[in-house]
């Protein structure tokens, strides 16, 4: 394997992919939520065919599938998965990639006053000598998750060009839309993928692998108030804006995302709209332990009940909606999925770290749909904003781990 060629292939692919704006839109009623994702899917399908993945296709929901048959008679069917959309949290338009060759420490100037160094991003200290990719200060980079797509595409090309050098099982490829807004596999027909186990390439720093995510619910609060002239408001007005703000401010500080880490759960309120007569707030509930998730929800229900007594003229409604569940429950039933991944990482010669995802991946829902799917690092960090970066050298390690992992599945 010429590692320099592999690195440059992935760099050129990632640079080309991130130039296409594929932000998903949570307010959209279409699937995928943005037309640009469909356009990108068509480009990826064309590229799969060009590199020789003859059995590749796209369905009406813009899922892109690729199938490469085993070259050694293996019956195992293993899927690698990445998502096409970028987060709606920050601009994904006009992404211009900067490469910072042979990082020697100190400040990396991204652009427009945005920079990273070992102080505001300690993880950089572990990447001395690496080639670091960033955007230019006015957009996210989009390595989440186009780095995963670049790795998988390069892997498929490598397999087809080196059939005599490495054994591999039946290899399945899946590129999904709308992962960032929690709808990545909402319309997926698993029969079309035809796999028994999967791996998302949607992780972060080198060596990190993940088999568990948050349990996740959405939460909404509605307050119907009573609007009267403020000059005669005593004992008559119920100000919905004030009441909903009171509910939110009553939530404990130690269970907000900015004060939590590792296995800590939280509730985050991310939007409020309304006026005196009506207000609505929405947010998310996140916990790795389902019992603790329900504890937080019951605590919020108790707060809402207290406010009903405090504001008897208002009508307060609180609703929770299930989003996804911790995939650990499923993956632990199939130990070989993680055992082979850990063995592959060790064979490549890097340290591994199993950590919880403080979020969700397509693997969360895929696992409960019947496809146990842990998550593999790609080498990026600071996703969803202008500080995002990725190590090209860590992408190479992800490629090597993925290649070795496929070989493990033929044993």
- Catalytic residue positions? 85, 179
Give the relative orientation of helices 392-408 and 143-161 as an angle to the nearest 10 degrees: 50
Going by C-beta distance under 8 Å and a sequence separation of 6 or more, which residues neighbour residue 54?
Answer: none
- How far apart CA 191 and CA 241 sit, in angstroms, is 48
- How far apart CA 232 and CA 251 sit, in angstroms, is 31
User: Which tokens go with 233?
Assistant: 């408001």
Give the relative orientation of helices 143-161 and 35-50 as an angle to the nearest 10 degrees: 20
């Amino acid at each position: 394997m010429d590692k320099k060629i592999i690195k440059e292939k992935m760099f050129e692919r990632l640079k080309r992919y991130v130039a296409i704006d594929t932000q998903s839109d949570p307010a959209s009623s279409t699937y995928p939520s943005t037309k640009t994702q469909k356009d990108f899917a068509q480009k990826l399908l064309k590229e799969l065919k060009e590199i020789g993945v003859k059995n590749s296709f796209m369905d009406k929901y813009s899922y892109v599938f690729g199938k490469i048959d085993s070259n050694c008679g293996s019956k195992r069917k293993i899927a690698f998965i990445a998502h096409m959309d970028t987060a709606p949290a920050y601009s994904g338009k006009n992404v211009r990639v900067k490469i910072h060759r042979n990082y020697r420490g100190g400040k990396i100037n991204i652009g427009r006053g945005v920079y990273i160094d070992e102080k505001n991003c300690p993880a950089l200290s572990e990447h001395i000598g690496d080639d670091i990719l960033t955007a230019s200060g006015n957009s996210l980079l989009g390595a989440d998750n186009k780095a995963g797509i670049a790795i998988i595409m390069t892997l498929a090309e490598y397999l087809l060009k080196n059939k005599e050098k490495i054994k591999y099982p039946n290899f399945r490829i899946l590129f999904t839309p709308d992962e960032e807004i929690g709808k990545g596999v909402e319309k997926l027909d698993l029969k079309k993928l035809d796999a028994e186990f999967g791996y998302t390439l949607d992780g972060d720093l080198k060596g990190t692998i993940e088999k568990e995510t948050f349990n996740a619910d959405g939460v909404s609060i509605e307050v119907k108030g009573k609007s009267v002239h403020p000059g005669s408001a005593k004992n008559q007005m119920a100000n919905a804006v004030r009441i909903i703000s009171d509910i939110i401010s009553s939530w404990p500080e130690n269970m907000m995302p900015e004060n939590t880490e590792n296995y800590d759960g939280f509730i985050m309120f991310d939007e409020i709209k309304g006026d005196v007569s009506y207000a609505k707030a929405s947010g998310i509930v996140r916990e790795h332990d389902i019992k603790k998730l329900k504890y937080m929800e019951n605590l919020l229900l108790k707060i809402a009940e207290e406010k009903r007594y405090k504001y008897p003229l208002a009508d307060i409604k609180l609703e929770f909606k299930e989003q996804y569940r911790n995939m650990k429950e499923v993956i632990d039933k199939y130990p070989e999925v993680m055992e082979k991944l850990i063995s592959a990482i060790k064979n490549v010669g890097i340290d591994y770290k199993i950590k919880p995802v403080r979020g969700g991946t397509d693997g969360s829902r895929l696992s409960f749909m019947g496809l146990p799917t842990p998550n593999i690092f790609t080498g990026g960090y600071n996703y969803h904003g202008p500080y995002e970066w990725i190590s090209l050298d860590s992408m190479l390690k992800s490629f090597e781990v993925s290649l070795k992992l496929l070989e493990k599945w033929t044993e």
